[in-house]
């Protein structure tokens, strides 16, 4: 049984090590990310994704300690096209990141500017560059979201907040045209002291399932054996936590082939059919990143805490990420 955190707490104790009080999960962003300096191991990011029909917009501000990265991506699933802008800032210069989900995150880099202003009730995203966007996101009061602290060791741990099924609307401009966005937003907030080698799976989607608004976050690899998971279903703003490890079945030789994501209890039983595959390979000697990110369609069912099975037919993403960082 995973421990549910119900009171505000801090990720680290006065000695800079992981606080036992922070290990577990919460339905709200209750954990303050008071990370100590740990050169090269501290990783911080805000990542937003908006899915609106066949259009996907993602925007990321990340600080890897020795390097800051900004990225914006538009994928047109109907055309099979993508537009991307990336900016790298050595030693993390030119960025601002708060120690909580709410606050202002900002990046100013060559060819790309990003502003994320998150307040209770409302979030605004602004992207400036060859890809530009203005997006407003509703974060309704009482909307439950998944917050988890993953304890690899007292000195290596990750705090993540995954908020999904948030209504989003706005405008997007790229060299390929101008598009209206009316869909659903997802936040991936991360603050941690990571090991040098890591890997993970992540899958998520939001939208309507019958009369309900649902969103799910499913993950694996990086949480295996830690006693916690990043797996949850949100239905009409109420969270169901899945404590069991999931099986991600896919072909690493061809990520475009269908995936299966299942739980031993069958409370999670999804197929995923990719429509767009984005591959990122960055070999930098001792450092490297390997990302296979697929956007496509989920089908199947998810069972909530009340035992109700929700039939899922949603557009989202699934990925495998491996890194030496």
Provide the residue range defining the domain that includes 276. 11-324
Q: Assess if residue 87 is contained within a domain.
A: yes
In a domain, residue 236? The reply is: yes
**pLDDT value, residue 66:** 86
DSSP 245: P
Q: What DSSP string describes 6-47?
A: -S-EESB-TTSSBPGGG-EEESS--EE--PPP-TTTEEEEEE
Any domain includes 186: yes
What confidence tens digit (pLDDT) does each residue in 217-246 have?
Answer: 999 999 999 999 999 999 999 999 999 999
pLDDT at 99: 87
Kindly state whether residue 1 falls inside one of the protein's structural domains. no
The three-point CA angle 77-79-83 to 5° equals 75
Q: Is residue 148 part of a domain?
A: yes
Q: In a structure prediction context, what are the per-residue pLDDT tens digits for the chain, which is 325 residues long? A: 799 999 999 999 999 999 999 999 999 999 999 999 877 799 999 999 999 999 999 999 999 988 899 999 999 999 999 999 999 998 877 899 998 999 999 999 999 999 999 999 999 999 999 999 999 999 999 999 999 999 999 999 999 999 999 999 999 999 989 999 999 999 999 999 999 999 999 999 999 999 999 999 999 999 999 999 999 999 999 999 999 999 999 999 999 999 999 999 999 999 999 999 999 998 777 788 899 999 999 999 999 999 999 999 999 999 999 999 8
* Residue 2 resides in a domain: no
Q: What angle do CA 298, 322, 105 make, to 5 degrees?
A: 80
Helix (H, G, I), strand (E, B) or coil at 65: coil
Mean pLDDT of the chain: 95
User: pTM for the whole thing?
Assistant: 0.96
Q: How many domains does the chain have?
A: 1
| Tokens linked to 190 | 């991360």
Tokens encoding 166: 């948030």
Distance CA(121)–CA(79), nearest Å, equals 34
Does 5 reside within a domain? no
CB of 168 closer than 8 Å to CB of 136: yes
Q: What CATH number is associated with residue 167?
A: 2.40.370.10
Cβ(107)–Cβ(95) below 8 Å: yes
Residue 4 lies in a domain: no
Alpha helices in 7-123 (DSSP H): none
């Amino acid at each position: 049984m995973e421990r549910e955190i119900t009171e505000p707490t801090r990720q680290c104790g006065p000695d800079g090590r992981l606080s036992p009080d922070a290990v577990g999960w919460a339905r709200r962003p209750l954990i303050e990310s008071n990370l100590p300096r740990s050169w090269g191991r501290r990783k911080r990011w805000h990542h937003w994704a908006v899915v609106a029909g066949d259009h996907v917009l993602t925007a990321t501000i990340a600080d890897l300690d020795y390097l800051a990265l900004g990225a914006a991506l538009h994928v047109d699933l109907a055309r099979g096209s993508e537009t991307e802008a990336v900016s790298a800032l050595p030693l993390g210069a030119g960025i601002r990141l708060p120690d909580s989900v709410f606050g202002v995150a900002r990046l100013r880099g060559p060819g790309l500017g990003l502003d994320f202003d998150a307040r209770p009730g409302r979030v605004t995203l602004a992207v400036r560059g060859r890809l530009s966007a203005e997006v407003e996101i509703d974060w309704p009061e009482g909307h439950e979201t998944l917050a988890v602290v993953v304890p690899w060791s007292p000195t290596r741990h990750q705090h993540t907040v995954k908020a999904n099924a948030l209504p989003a609307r706005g405008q997007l401009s790229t060299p390929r045209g101008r598009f209206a966005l009316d869909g659903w937003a997802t936040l991936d907030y991360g603050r941690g002291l990571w090991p040098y080698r890591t890997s993970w799976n992540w899958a998520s989607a939001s939208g309507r399932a019958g009369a309900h608004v649902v969103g799910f976050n499913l993950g694996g690899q990086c949480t295996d054996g830690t006693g916690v998971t990043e797996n949850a279903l949100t239905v009409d703003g109420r969270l169901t936590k899945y404590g069991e490890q999931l099986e991600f079945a896919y072909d690493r030789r061809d990520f475009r082939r269908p995936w299966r994501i299942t739980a031993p209890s069958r409370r999670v039983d999804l197929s995923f059919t990719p429509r767009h595959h984005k591959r990122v390979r960055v070999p930098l000697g001792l450092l490297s990143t390997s990302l296979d990110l697929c956007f496509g369609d989920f089908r199947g069912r998810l069972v909530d805490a009340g035992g109700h099975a929700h039939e899922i037919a949603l557009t989202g993403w699934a990925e495998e990420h491996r890194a030496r960082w």
